[in-house]
Structure 1
Amino acid sequence: MTSRPTITTVPLNTGATMPQHGLGTWLSKPGEVKDAVKTALYAGYTHIDAAAVYGNEAEVGEALAEVFADEDSGIKREDVFITSKLWSQSHGSIAEALNQTLKDLQLDYLDLYLIHNPVAFQGETVFDVAELEYIPLAAKWKAMESLQDAGLTRAIGVSNFPTALIYELLSVARIPPAVVQIERHPYNVQKLHVDFVERHHIHVTNYSPLGNPGKYSGGPETKLLEHPKVLELADAHNKTAAQILIRWGIDKGATVIPKSVNPDRIKENLAVFDFQLQPHEVAELDALDVGHRYLDFTFLGVPIFT
């Protein structure tokens, strides 16, 4: 095991704290994700981001169980912030969905449970939008609140919710959302959205902080990791382009969850707590904003971001 860096944390509106850095597990294939999670935890990661729809939670659970059972590691369940998400086909059976996630992850509770996106549907596969369901947001949120009341999750929140839906959610919530998870990087800064949720004490998690390299085509001609401004700042700080983009999110107050299954990159992505970007450097990266999403959820058949 390597020495573990001190990862900064932020307070949530529940009174708990959340690490500003974590390992994303989206697109991590079965057969790879277990070793990735174990590598991350032994390297010092204190946050694992998972989701039922990723199709790998059982393997993530194997990794968690093995690390927590390893007395030499010194890593206990309470040392790790674990997030998962409710998929669209389970909006009518939220408690059952969380129970399955807990079973797969081999946990008694989550630290954070998110509604993965606002659209409910039914179909034969997880991405088969055969039939939309119309379940009131208030009913879904009441079910989420009951999970927190029962201690099955320490906090609840949403992901990929537009500003107007969060506004509506706040009008019906007994327990306000603690976190909103969004696609956020310098090509998609989402300033107005973030300003709104932060004004209501909702913490932001940035997914796809590196601009989804290698997964989605389209958008700006230059990949974010290859943008001259990102490379200039990487050279100035003697860091990698990925480290600059991760640090940008942290310096803007967010939690950042880069994904990797490469052991060296997993460790490299964590080496961002020995420097900070200057305010003018953060602003220079903000100026790259073109409002581009690499994942716009158009497959849902519901244009949630327009």
Structure 2
Amino acid sequence: MPSIGLGVFQTPPHETRTAVEAALATGYRHVDTAAAYGNEREVGDALRAAGMARDEVFIETKIWISDYGYNQTLHGFEKSAAKLGVDRIDLLILHQALPSAFEKTLQAYRALESLLDQGKVRAIGVSNFMVDHLTALLEKATVVPAVNQIELHPYFQQRAVQTFGAEHGILTQAWSPIGGITFYRNGSHGSTLEDPVIGGIARAHGKSPAQVMLRWHLQRGRSVIPKSTKPHRIAENFDVFDFDLTGSELAAIDALDTDQRGGPEPTEITLESFGREIPEA
């Protein structure tokens, strides 16, 4: 899996195709989408328009909680694959744990294991799983999740989840890797892009704050899926392979953690509050 992918969370369908096309032209070979984003079809359109061989681009998508349960998740795969226009998905993950109905989560993961066994997916994983969710899953699973995609940026680092993942061979993948808009909704923090520590490091390297944060993730061994619809930002986010942060610079960014989550609290995800129908292909 390429270490940097283009994320398309909250990208409107009509903007998704051009964003993915711009990313592929820049050099990205990894796209992250989800059934709940409502733009899988447009991701597939962009991939076909690019004219690349199927194996050239790593496609990652997610099953939404409304499609949890063994048979429902198998059908969720079929819906996503049809919208993407592919026979095989490179990485298929569960979008959230369902703490109040964890048996459905386990059934959904068992379906992912079946899809992996059948060769319909190349790898399986989870998203927004906390340590207790991962612990309960590993007690039943036959395949360790390849990836746990979580909110992770300098102001919210989820170190316990990262450590647990590393101990069990689960790669941490960061969504909102430069501190997305959800983090600032209560107005109690400024933007990571304006953080003086990050800004100073950026000036020292002749890079942007966003590039510094993405480089921090990569040097800490994480995968990242920055989101943008602007071609120049998409290109900027990919231009992070020609410099290295020092140990002291990495430590300075590590020290910015506030332990304050910006996205939904994973322990509070329920079908009643977050369930939505995922349309057929």
Alignment-mate amino acid for residue 88 of structure 1? I
> Which residue of the other structure, out of 79, 82, 95, is the alignment partner of 2:74?
95
Give the structure 2 partner of residue 11 of structure 1.
Answer: none
Q: Which amino acid aligns with 2:269?
A: L
TM-score (norm 2): 0.91
Q: State the secondary structure of the residue aligned to 2:21.
A: helix
Q: Matched residues in 2 for 1:141 and 1:23: separation?
A: 25
**1:63 pairs with 2:32:** no
Structure with the greater relative contact order (CA < 8 A, sep ≥ 6): 1 or 2?
2
Change over 3 Å in CA distance of 1:30–1:216 after alignment to 2: farther
Distance 2:221 2:102 in 1: 35
Deviates more, 1:227-236 or 1:133-142: 133-142
Q: State the shift of 1:140 in Å.
A: 2.3
Task: Show structure 1 runs of 4+ deviating over 4 A.
Answer: none
Change (3 A) 1:86 1:216: farther
% of aligned pairs identical? 40
Deviation at 1:135, TM superposition (A): 3.2
Structure having the larger proportion of residues in helix = 2
Find 1:105's aligned residue among 54, 64, 84. 84
Question: Aligned to 2:227, what secondary structure does the other structure show?
Answer: coil
Q: Tell me the residue number matched to 2:110.
A: 142
SS in 1 for 2:252: helix
2:29 corresponding residue in structure 1:
46
Q: Deviations over 1:112-132 (max 9, x none)?
A: 001000128xxxxxxxxxxx7
Whether the aligned pair in 2 keeps the contact of 1:26 and 1:259 (CA below 8 Å) is yes
CA distance in 1: counterparts of 2:269 and 2:158, whole angstroms:
21
Q: Say whether residues 1:82 and 2:82 are aligned partners.
A: no
- Amino acid paired to 2:202: A
User: Which residue is equivalent to 1:172?
Assistant: 140
| Aligned residue in 2 for 1:21 | 4
Q: Which runs of 5+ in 2 are unaligned?
A: 272-281
Question: Of 174, 177, 187, which aligns to 1:209?
Answer: 177
CA contact (8 A) 1:219 1:294 kept: no
Deviation at 1:139, TM superposition (A): 2.3
The verdict on how the C-alpha distance between 1:136 and 1:300 changes in structure 2, with shifts beyond 3 A counting, is closer
CA distance in 1, matches of 2:226, 2:133: 26
Amino acid in the other structure paired with 2:60? T
List runs of 5+ in structure 1 lacking aligned partners.
1-17, 70-74, 121-131
Letter in 2 for 1:80: V
Aligned residues: 268
Q: How large is the Cα RMSD of the aligned pairs? A: 1.8
